[in-house]
Structure 1
Amino acid sequence: MKILGIDEAGRGCVIGPLVIAGVMVDEKGMELLGELGVLDSKRFTSKEREEMFSKINSIALKVKVCVIQPCEIDEANLNYIELRVTSSIISELRPDVAYFDVPTHPRGVRNYCRYLSHLISNTTAKLVGENEADVKYPVVGAASIVAKVERDRIIDDLQRRYGDFGSGYPSDEKTRRFIREWYERRGTLPEMVRRKWKAVRDIINPQLNLPIP
């Protein structure tokens, strides 16, 4: 049986891409992931994630990583982006069963899964979508780790190019200061910032209702 797990990293950030990963294993691979203690990527240090990343890639039948840039995120609803990318991963890898994290309120899980099923082609995979699936299913936890490691590598590259902007989350004062000072000096924002997000406008000026160039 081919078992697929899908999860993302970077959904709530205002800097950097959203990364969605799919990890497909067989039943033996599921056992090995369980023995590794693979869970939500946020529970591990960066070094631990890198070590698990290598082991996950050696266990997996296939790994698929999709990177969605800020300019793409600015042009579409984030839930729809996740639905579209998740459906493309399932359609391409064609598992027997797919487990994935659902980024909606619990009341919206059923509708999310129903909509996803209409987007999928070339497979009759059983779909299992739940809130916090990454702490329930090792294969989703593995996808969470892959997505986080891949995104961290992108963020490290952006830090080298633009300087230290913190975590990229709007609650991080270093991130807020970076965005505010960049905009004050240049009157615009770098491409790595999700310019149309309300959180970004609020950092610059809560009264700013115009698009950020």
Structure 2
Amino acid sequence: MSSYSLKNQSKTQLNTIKEHYQAFLQPKVPAHALFVAKAPGVTVTAYHSGTVLFQGNNAETEGNRWDNSSTSSSTPSNSTAKKTSSNLPTGFSQWNVVGSDEVGNGSYLGPVVVCASYVTKEQMPLLKELGVKDSKMLKDSEIIKIAADLKHVIQYQELVVTPQKYNEIQPNYNVNRMKVALHNQAIYLLLKKIAPEQPQGILIDQFTPEGNYRKYLSMEKNQVKDDLYFTTKGEQYHLAVAAASIICRASFLNELKKASQELGFNVPSGAGKPSDLAAAKILKRGGIELLSKYAKLHFANTDKAKKLLK
């Protein structure tokens, strides 16, 4: 599906566009949007900020109808791009990119969630309108809401490793090898989803040196090796990583909420004292077998929880 966006449209122009698509206006309007119209071959979403997004087979035709700007920007090719201090090519933030991130690896309770998302240059205005940014700057309630919207807008692949599954594979996988396997698999499956379209780059929120990543990658069956980029705080360099992080975090929070409902008390994130206390309650109720369904047993919290019961 192609897309086209206009920026800095005046209120008068927005009203003119709205009037043109009057017969196709939809009753449900996303947050921050002024109106949504679904006409043959195109969906038009206008925002209070002055951005108008056209999506569908006729997106470019309809967008050009209203585009009076004299300037346009193009995405730099991989071959001519220059490296920046972040080791990413100049203009990378405007590329069509697959980004991946994970949540839950450092939390004793709850799953590990990995997500890869594909964000094109044309989708960026919409993602910004939805509030996509570094998930650390968002409240949990905002993350859950934005993630729900994102899943209707972008292509993504999410993998959720439950504590029970984690405990099964952990003896044979150290933390980094497990994360490499999950990131690679999420990216591989997403690339299959978006084929024949191909991203200009794949950005992984870096958790281990590139050489180490590629060492563990060589052990995987479906290896994605080309056009890989690595940087810490990847969500600051491309919206694809920010979007992946938000989707991950929302799923992680939902899993904790589900666990809390099942157990009848709050299941916290992290690996501090509250996690020890929650684990002790679980142990008292159903022993290590029940705890294995909610916790990553190799964490030191397991022994701490056992001591609390003595």
C-alpha spacing 1:194/1:163, structure 2 compared with 1 (3 Å)? same
Aligned letter for 1:145? Answer: I
Task: Calculate the TM-score normalised by the size of structure 2.
Answer: 0.57
Whether 1:91 aligns to 2:192 is no
TM-superposed CA distance for 1:130, in Å, is 1.5
In the alignment of these two chains, the number of paired residues is 200
Aligned letter for 2:203? Answer: Y
Aligned letter for 1:201? Answer: D
Aligned letter for 1:162? Answer: L
Whole-Å separation in 2 of the counterparts to 1:113 and 1:30: 29
2:248 aligned to which of 131, 137, 147: 147
Aligned letter for 2:250? Answer: V
C-alpha spacing 1:103/1:203, structure 2 compared with 1 (3 Å)? farther
Aligned letter for 1:197? Answer: F
Whole-Å separation in 2 of the counterparts to 1:47 and 1:200: 30
Aligned letter for 2:204? Answer: F
Whole-Å separation in 1 of the counterparts to 2:246 and 2:233: 14
TM-superposed CA distance for 1:4, in Å, is 0.7
- The superposition leaves residues 163-189 of structure 1 with CA deviations (integer Å, 9 ceiling, x where unpaired) of 223423221x33221212332454424
Whole-Å separation in 1 of the counterparts to 2:145 and 2:255: 18
Name 2:92's counterpart in structure 1. Answer: none
Name 1:67's counterpart in structure 2. Answer: 160
Unaligned runs of 5+ in 1: 207-213
Name 1:102's counterpart in structure 2. Answer: 206
TM-superposed CA distance for 1:89, in Å, is 2.0
Greater shift in the superposed pair: 143-152 or 176-185: 176-185
C-alpha spacing 1:30/1:124, structure 2 compared with 1 (3 Å)? farther
Name 2:282's counterpart in structure 1. Answer: 182
Aligned letter for 1:17? Answer: P
Aligned letter for 1:194? Answer: K
- The superposition leaves residues 102-146 of structure 1 with CA deviations (integer Å, 9 ceiling, x where unpaired) of 223xxxx22134336644747664111112212332210110000
C-alpha spacing 1:103/1:205, structure 2 compared with 1 (3 Å)? farther
TM-superposed CA distance for 1:12, in Å, is 0.8
Task: Calculate the TM-score normalised by the size of structure 1.
Answer: 0.80
As a proportion of its length, which structure holds more helix? 1
Write out the 4+ residue segments of structure 1 that deviate beyond 6 Å after TM superposition. Answer: none
Whole-Å separation in 2 of the counterparts to 1:142 and 1:153: 17
Unaligned runs of 5+ in 2: 1-94, 192-197
Query: What is the percent sequence identity of the aligned residues?
Result: 19
Whole-Å separation in 1 of the counterparts to 2:164 and 2:174: 12
C-alpha spacing 1:186/1:68, structure 2 compared with 1 (3 Å)? closer
2:214 aligned to which of 114, 117, 122: 114
C-alpha spacing 1:176/1:124, structure 2 compared with 1 (3 Å)? closer
Greater shift in the superposed pair: 161-170 or 138-147: 161-170
Whole-Å separation in 2 of the counterparts to 1:198 and 1:148: 23
Name 1:11's counterpart in structure 2. Answer: 105
Aligned letter for 1:98? Answer: I
